[in-house]
Amino acid sequence: MALEGPAERRDEVQVAMGNGNGVAPSQPSRPAGRPPAAAAPYADRRLRLNPNAEHKPQDYSDVRGEYAPAVYSALERHLPPSLLDADRDVKLHFMRDILARYWPQGERNKVQRHREYRQRILHLYKPLHEELYNMHPSVFFLPTFLEAVRSNTEESFRSIMTEPIPGVYSFAMLQPTFCEMLLEEVENFEKWVHAMKFKIMRPNTMNKYGAVLDDFGLEAMLNQFMQQFIAPISKVFYPEVGGGTLDSHHAFIVEYGKDRDLELGFHVDDSEVTLNVCLGKQFSGGELYFRGIRCENHVNSETQHEEMYDYTHIPGRAVLHRGRHRHGARATSSGLRINLLLWCRSSVFREMKKYQKDFPSWCGECQREKRERQSQCVKATKMAFLRGSGGATI
């Protein structure tokens, strides 16, 4: 079964944090104008394969440039032991030199243009609902959801959730007033873009309608949304795919219906964990269908019957799943369906999965192959035993 659409395409540039064998570059590139600094003596040191859990990274929130501060904080735990106690500037130069090796100049230019586009919007756009741009939990979330997060236990999370198939969780999450405000804000932004004759950046290559929420000022609020309200849940239910180390996101709105996108092809997300919340409005159809979790090697493999599940959207209700859980959206047959998508990512997991050996525990096809090999091994052992015993039975 082939995936329709760019299942493996990365819609946003993701920064790797080392090379494939975990060794820091021996001759790191240095952007023009940067002094060699004291990082040079460490240039041939190996990165730690496993993070130093006891090390507390320094604060990089004041650092501006190509990478989010969270990337430096995550990478610092993987620095060579001899570098952990060095000055922050030394570590910063070392990490920048590593990161620069894995982000081509052409991609940097693309990201720089997007940054300039975003800055222009932030300078000119006047929000309709200012209260959306700062986190107000009691205004945004239902009391049942807030109580579950405050308790922060697997039992409290499961008390508000259903798990129709393994790894897919559904729960009531957003206040109706928040959904209405967000819909109005997106509509206001789209009208403003049209009036200003801007070219709006769409969420990804598969959606021709919708908007990237981070582009018009909601990035900081949505980062809190992820860190405070999604990360605690992901840490419990998705630790094997970086659920405990989420450090960046891509947030956007998608629109389906007449004169909008009609459906969404079969694909995987560029995320470790995906939150999908229906905001409204009145619609029919548009079911989300799931077809099994797959690693890169098995993304086009057959779907097993037990992996098939169709999810019906309800305004205000969320569905949470792994980014590698293959899915698509059926046609919205009437009305207008608008959803909030939050792709949650882990820089550490993306680097560490380079060292992943066979049979990732989260890939359904890998596990089937593992069971098949184990079964063949058991059969071979039995045959060898029978041959050795002359075929005697007890």
DSSP 196-210: HT--PPPSSTT-SS-
> What distances in angstroms separate CA 290 from CA 113, 322, 377, one per listed residue?
35, 11, 32
Tell me, what's the pLDDT at 394? 44
Which residue intervals of the chain are DSSP H helices?
69-76, 88-100, 105-124, 137-140, 143-151, 154-158, 176-196, 219-224, 231-237, 347-352, 364-388
Report which of 358, 355, 323, 359 is spatially closest to residue 241, judged by C-alpha positions: 323
> Distance (Å, rounded) from C-alpha 277 to C-alpha 213?
14
Tell me, what's the pLDDT at 19? 28
Tell me, what's the pLDDT at 8? 38
Tell me, what's the pLDDT at 12? 34
Q: Supply the DSSP symbol for 324.
A: T
> Distance (Å, rounded) from C-alpha 239 to C-alpha 70?
18
- The packing angle between helices 69-76 and 88-100, to 10°, is 100
Contact predicate 327/290, CB 8 Å = yes
> Distance (Å, rounded) from C-alpha 106 to C-alpha 113?
11
Tell me which residue has tokens 């993701």: 14
Residues 169, 152, 274, 198, CA torsion sign? positive
Q: What's the CATH superfamily of 130-354?
A: q2cbj1_9rhob like domain (2.60.120.620)
Tell me, what's the pLDDT at 41? 55
Q: Which residues of the chain have pLDDT under 50?
A: 1-40, 43, 393-394
Tell me, what's the pLDDT at 115? 84
Average pLDDT, the chain: 83
Tell me, what's the pLDDT at 357? 58
Domain coordinates in residue numbering, the chain: 130-354
**Residue 198 tokens, joined:** 């801007």
> Distance (Å, rounded) from C-alpha 382 to C-alpha 362?
30
Cis ω before 281 (30° cut-off from 0): yes
Sheet arrangement for strand 264-267 = 264-267, 325-329, 288-293, 308-311
Residues 132, 136, 142, 146, CA torsion sign? positive
Chain segment 163-180, per-residue pLDDT in tens: 999 999 999 999 999 999
Contact predicate 229/275, CB 8 Å = no
